[in-house]
Structure 1
């Protein structure tokens, strides 16, 4: 049975294993007020309104791709200011 929630600690552990130099991301997630969330394709930490447009909070810099044994591919959207903008669970997207 698949659990209805996804725990932020799983993401932290994947970063430690797969991107150990990204201590900045681990620190951000540890400080996050959200520790668990209902399974869904995308979790947003900042407003995605008008992405990459002047004045928008959402200014993407890079994507970090993680692989989870059961959850599959997970993508972290990293913004230009270093914050995590969101987390995408590829296997949760319909038709993926």
Structure 2
């Protein structure tokens, strides 16, 4: 049976292995209040309402793609202020 929880430490380990220069992302995740969650396609750390619109908290800058042995491709959405807006688990997306 597949575990239903995913822990932020797993993302931190992937960054250390695959994007070791991105200490900024590790620091962002370590200070996050959200340390674990039930598996789902997308986890929001910032409101996605009105993306890239004036006054919106969500001002997208870049995506970081990580590969996990059992979870597959994981995409981190990075905002212009350096925060992680959300984490997308591509294997969880159903057509």
**TM > 0.5 between the two?**
yes
Cα offsets for 1:10-57 (capped at 9, x unmatched):
000000000000001101111111111000000000110100111111
Unaligned runs of 5+ in 1: none
Q: Say which SS state the counterpart of residue 29 (structure 1) adopts.
A: helix
Pairing of 1:16-95 with structure 2 (within 5 A) = 16-95=16-95
Moved more, 26-35 or 71-80: 26-35
Q: Distance in 1 between matches of 2:63 and 2:46?
A: 15
Q: Distance in 2 between matches of 1:57 and 1:26?
A: 21
TM-score, with structure 1 as normaliser: 0.97
The equivalent of 2:3 in structure 1 is: 3
Structure 1 residue ranges, 4+ long, deviating more than 6 angstroms after superposition: none
TM-score, with structure 2 as normaliser: 0.98
Q: Distance in 1 between matches of 2:85 and 2:57?
A: 9
Cα offsets for 1:35-80 (capped at 9, x unmatched):
1100000000011010011111101000000000100000000000
Q: How many residue pairs get matched? A: 95
CA RMSD of aligned residues (A): 0.6
